[in-house]
Structure 1
Amino acid sequence: MATLWGHLFVWIGLWHILQVRGIAKFTNVQCFAVDEKFANFSRCRLYAVKRDVVEMSLIAKVLHWPKRPVSMRIQLLKRASGYKPFLYNICQSDLCEYLEKRNHPFVNIIFNSFTNRTNVNRCPLPAEIMLEHFRFPVKALELLPLPSGDYALFITFSFDSQERALVKVYFTLTEYR
């Protein structure tokens, strides 16, 4: 009986040691309309709600949807003497095809974290794309654990092999026990 209690206390102790918690928050957002005939951004900013809580809001007006598929590229970068590629560099050749099938795990983690805060859920996409009061998806870190540090997520939209719009989201992760 004593060894059972001893093993139980060891497992509880290990569980508490391995439970790493952290603070994650947005630090900056930048939106670029590379092709002004394609889209423009009327809002692209962060709002400090409280000390460790920051919300992001974006509004992009698409002036001309092409008849050809719009491709999307998502890059996760980590800061180490500048921002360097880290883990993911995904090119989805057709944004509408992805929205229909939802067939990429990493992209699913990103999209699922803000589906209730945006009007981009299926095609045809609206002329005004909005993301309102979006807080950092801390739950996503359970699916995609990342070490402490500064990160960037670059999302590029293009068609006809030319970049048309770019959104750069910067965030920081701080671990504590």
Structure 2
Amino acid sequence: MVHSKFEFTNIKCENLDKLFGGFEYCYLKSINRTYKYASLKVNLFQIPITNFSVNLAVLKWSNGYRPFVYNFTTDGCKFLGNVNARNPVGKYFFDFISPYANVNHKCPFNHDIILDKVPISHMDYQLTKLIPFPKADYLFESTWFAYGITRGIVKIYGKLS
């Protein structure tokens, strides 16, 4: 029996509106050969946030990153109002971060956004057991909007081998 394994290769966070917010940190950390994680923190300067949306695109490497299966935008406040009913694909990707993030509530957001120590084992489970992805290099690109204006982009690179 052949088993796939997901590995983080890079993370990049780009702030597009320095007056609205900024990344305090955005990194991957390798504790040992088996325990690796991703963390980021966004400081919000104009709170409360009552309107935001996110575009998520999954890209697969093939002579450059090309669109692969998923590319969707969802209204974040409506989605968080009823996570289970709104968007099953959105819920699948929300489950990647929900146990490790402080965004598990409805709008408004009156605090900074923290994604704390998302372990590689959790990502591996989501991408190999729940909905198996083919072996390849991937880019998970999320573009964040608040009040209709693009505020930031988070790119998570990984390899499924």
TM bracket, shorter-chain basis: 0.7 to 0.9
Q: Work out which of the residue numbers 5, 16, 21 in structure 2 matches 1:39.
A: 21
RMSD: 1.7
The 1:49/1:160 distance shift into structure 2, 3 A limit, reads same
8 Å Cα contact 1:25-1:52 kept in structure 2: no
Q: Highest relative contact order (Cα 8 Å, sep 6+), 1 or 2? A: 2
**1:97 alignment counterpart:** 78
The count of aligned residue pairs is 155
Contact 2:49/2:110 (CA < 8 Å) preserved in 1? Answer: no
| Equivalent pair of 1:63/1:127 in contact (CA under 8 Å) | no
1:18-38 Cα shifts (integer Å, max 9, x gaps): xx3111111111111101111
Q: CA deviation at 1:81?
A: 1.1
In the other structure, the counterpart of 1:145 is 132
Please report how far the alpha carbon of residue 143 of structure 1 lies from its aligned counterpart in structure 2 after TM superposition.
Answer: 2.3
Q: Which amino acid aligns with 2:59?
A: L
Unaligned runs of 5+ in 2: none
Equivalent positions of 1:30-109 (< 5 A) are 30-65=12-47, 69-92=51-74, 94-102=75-83, 103-109=86-92
Match of 1:7 in 2: none
* Structure 1: unaligned runs, 5 residues or longer: 1-15
- Does the CA-based 8 Å contact 2:103-2:113 persist in structure 1? yes
4+ runs deviating over 4 angstroms: none
Equivalent position SS for 2:79: helix
Judge conservation of contact 1:28–1:171 (CA < 8 Å) in 2: yes
Deviation at 1:67, TM superposition (A): 6.3
SS at 2:103 equivalent: coil
Identity %: 30
Larger Rg: 1
